[in-house]
Amino acid sequence: MTSNSTSPIVTGWAARFRCAIAGIGVVFRSKDIARVEVIAAAAVIGLGLAIKLSSFEWCALVVAIAMVLTAEALNTSVEAIVDLVTPEFNPLAGRAKDVASGAVLIAALASVAIGLLVFGPHLWPN
């Protein structure tokens, strides 16, 4: 079996796992915003630990963090595919990239809303 991943032959779960880790590395090496998102996630986790969030609150934050990082990874993938298929300017290629980037923005805004709902009552009690 051949693959276009960084490994020429991908067999077994361990090799596939290494390819997935390599893909995550591509996102963080190629996207400055992904590194900013991880720093923000670390700050949220630190604040959550400091104010002793409930299990439910942690679940909401984990989903929010995963949602943003997943959207960023998918956006990176869409950009790479579009660049491969259409190296020259094409309005439809630009639209695909804009839509993928918009999905990241939607995820980020939703995560901010989740953060306000989770941290608000702890930071600004009635």
Structural domain count, the chain: 2
Same domain, 107 and 45: yes
Q: Please indicate whether residue 37 is annotated as part of the active site.
A: no
Same domain, 43 and 26: no
pTM for the full predicted model:
0.86
Task: List CB contacts of 101: < 8 A, sequence separation 6 or more.
Answer: 75
How far, in Å, CA of 16 to CA of 18, rounded?
5
Same domain, 4 and 51: no
Structural domain span for residue 23: 1-30
Residue 111 burial class via C-beta count within 10 angstroms: exposed 0-12, middle 13-18, buried 19 and up:
buried
Catalytic residue among 37, 57, 72, 88: 72
Same domain, 93 and 47: yes
Same domain, 8 and 51: no
- Residue-level pLDDT at 1: 44
Residue 104 has a CB neighbour count (10 Å cut-off) of: 23
Same domain, 95 and 109: yes
What digits encode the pLDDT tens for the residues 35-68?
999 999 999 999 999 999 999 999 999 999 999 9
